[in-house]
A and B are shown apart, each in its own frame.
Chain A
């Protein structure tokens, strides 16, 4: 059939008008396909990025008329704002704590679940449920559990330890930080678990068999085989989680509203407050750029590690 089509086309001699369009689309089809996506990215990413760069250098405050050029004033306002500095430090501390705990727990769970046992599928399903819950709902649930006087946490702890427990989980240091870490770890440990479990199942079992024949202990095998082979997956999981953890906002918004004082202001919450509660858009935009640069440096280092070629 294709031969006859070719013959008919040749017999016609010259192509009909539509063929010119068809030929053009044939040659540029791949560009036509990507054009909408490129235009969308330009419209929704590049333009706002350039606009935000302009906003960061002008006075774009709803309560102050005009958009006068102010140079680095907005950046200085953020750098010299003690709340901004604290929020950045807290973001680093909470992110590091969250990701480290989630990594350890996720690895432990993955090691426990790597071998088959009756009911494994069901247990795995239950374990990953928190991943599918909105962080706002997670925050609300933990706030209800921890809140005094109505939350059950202190009552249960009192029953366990045999005397009154009167911890203010949501309004007193250092308990507020434990509460925030608890909520985050509960939700995101399953992510680490799933990624690391995939990594563990990809390690060839014959390596462990050979190690066993050589009399290597389980602990030695863990450090000599499991960890080196799992390293790329660990880096991947940590990078992904860290990228998400530094944006921590929802649970803060629900559980503490940044309080008491500004003790639970993360960078995202700080920027939200400046931008959308106080409406100082220039300062919030300048802060966003500073946060973006700091984040890019950290993530860049991690990605470099991730892309480093394996040593044979």
Chain B
């Protein structure tokens, strides 16, 4: 240190001492406090961690009155989990999972109502039975696809159990995001419980000969209509006079449009003939287009994997959908699924086709839970009939598989949870929860006396869901589904805004071809061929046409 540096240093030191004596912060105090703050970090981490854990903890177990059908189903699920039968999948899962006591499973669920099941029922019950905690990660529906991919790329191991659309299975399996369950199933599951799935749903988690999850949500479209309107003598007479045939629940899409227009002409503005969720992306027009297009014998791809959307079947489908829109409630093209429910429950619409919660809401069963009070009380309870959608081939729109994350550090515990939660007795209690959006999918659900006792027409509702599954169609279970579906949604919503149907079909077909080319035409052809083997891949290849239809009384 030379003389000048020494002078500078001493001046600095004395200035610092003076500042210290004046009570001002000095560099030394800064460094000291910075060090203290760093030292506090581990402590803060612990405190914040416990606070976060508390904030995110599942709610206390919420069990129904044991004298109600739901309460009885829940008691039955608990009994099967603790007392057996010993070869039941629920009992086996619980017994095997006890060794993982203290583990926390991170599971993705769609945000909102779907997540209430693991928060209020299945999560707390599982913890009571096994000591395994659950951390429910709520994601928007698109994020249920993108977040697991992002976490897999980052290799974070953030999730153990994933709720995914069956149509995402090929992409997520090939991308290494999920892992097959065959070995664990061979070790733990009761095969009879697999045979309890409706044939349409049984094959959904299977891909390339391996099983990639448990099917867990029967999202079958069905037609819900106002019986009182279809029974109205004056309307029936008027319809007969006008069209020379009786007014009845429509069986074809042309009849559907005609009946909807007739009701609108005669009853608007009190009641309109129909309503549809047509808003872009909410949840998407692709499901409705696909069910009508395939019911009109539309083909998705030709032998060279060229999109066949721009075809007479495509034109016919869009033209009928446009006519149906015109026959519908004002603002039809701006409705999302929830707004459509609201319109139906308020008695403004005579017919809608939508997901199974429609039936539970229309009967006011769902609204018995506070969580679902954003849906209005049904003014049409007891007046709603159930039917297969016109055209005879309803879409199984999305649905859910429970899948095991490939990066899970608790893979076996996660698997056991999935086996338990989808087992016949536990899944029955879950699909009966009024606030949950899980819909019946097992034969034991459709046959359940407890479910059939939930409201006066519940039996008809379950039989209709089963019958719909017999003739139902599946989303395209192949890589690129997200892209193909987005193209259809854009196509439809642009047509609602006056784009010429032929032009819109051509644009969508070009987008489909671009997607196919990007993913590899040959490999996509192989995937498409696999898909076509599934029951429900086309109108002439359904559970019923393959001789596997389930008949219920």
Contact = CB atoms under 8 A, between A and B. Distances in A.
Contacts, number: 126
Contact of A171 (B27, B153, B480, B496): B496
Contacts of B202: none
A223 interface: no
Contacts of A226: none
Given A2-B18, A168-B331, A150 B339 contact: yes
Nearest to A7: B10
Given A276-B146, A277-B482, A260 B15 contact: no
B482 A278 contact: yes
Contacts of B519: 63-64
A139 interface: no
Q: Is the interface of B mostly helix, strand, loop or mixed?
A: helix
Nearest to B152: A62
Contact of B281 (A5, A10, A258): A258
A279 interface: yes
A43 to B, nearest CB: 15
Contact of B330 (A23, A149, A262): A149
Interface residues of B, number: 53
A6 interface: yes
B497 A173 contact: yes
A277 B486 contact: yes
Contact of B339 (A10, A147, A171): A147
Interface stretch (B212-220, B246-254, B455-463, B487-495): B487-495
B13 interface: yes
Interface string A1-39: 111011001100001000100010110010000000000
Contact of A62 (B171, B331, B333, B520): B171
A2 B149 contact: no
Contact of A259 (B145, B281, B504): B281
A148 B1 CA distance: 80
A147 B280 contact: no
Interface string B1-36: 100010001101111011001000001000100000
A63 B520 CA distance: 10
A6 B330 contact: no
Contacts of A52: none
B343 interface: yes
Contacts of B14: 2-3, 5-6
Interface in A123-173: 147-150, 166, 168-173
A240 B443 CA distance: 61
Interface in B97-135: none
B482 A279 contact: yes
Contacts of B520: 64
Given A171-B497, A258-B281, A23 B9 contact: yes
A150 to B, nearest CB: 7
B182 interface: no
Contact of A5 (B13, B149, B174, B331): B13
B486 A150 contact: no
A166 B174 CA distance: 49
Contacts of B399: none
Contacts of A150: 331, 339, 342
B142 A277 contact: yes
A292 to B, nearest CB: 22
For A6, A62, A64, A256, the residue with the greatest tally of chain B CB atoms inside 10 Å of its CB is A62
Contacts of B482: 277-279
A261 B499 contact: yes
Contact of B142 (A2, A6, A276): A276
Interface string A82-120: 000000000000000000000000000000000000000
Interface in B477-519: 479-480, 482-483, 486, 489-491, 493-494, 496-499, 504, 518-519
Given A2-B14, A9-B13, A278-B482, A261 B149 contact: no
B330 A166 contact: yes
A261 B175 CA distance: 30
- By Cβ-Cβ distance, the 6 closest A-B pairs, closest first, are A259-B280, A148-B331, A261-B494, A257-B281, A260-B497, A2-B14
Given A6-B10, A168-B331, A279-B149, 6 more contacts: A5-B10, A23-B5, A25-B27, A63-B480, A260-B333, A278-B482
Interface of A: 1-3, 5-6, 9-10, 15, 19, 23, 25-26, 29, 61-65, 147-150, 166, 168-173, 256-263, 273, 276-280
29 contacts: A1-B21, A2-B18, A5-B10, A6-B10, A9-B13, A10-B10, A15-B1, A26-B12, A62-B175, A64-B519, A147-B331, A147-B334, A148-B331, A148-B334, A149-B329, A149-B331, A166-B330, A168-B331, A168-B333, A168-B334, A171-B333, A171-B496, A171-B497, A259-B490, A261-B499, A262-B490, A278-B486, A279-B146, A279-B482
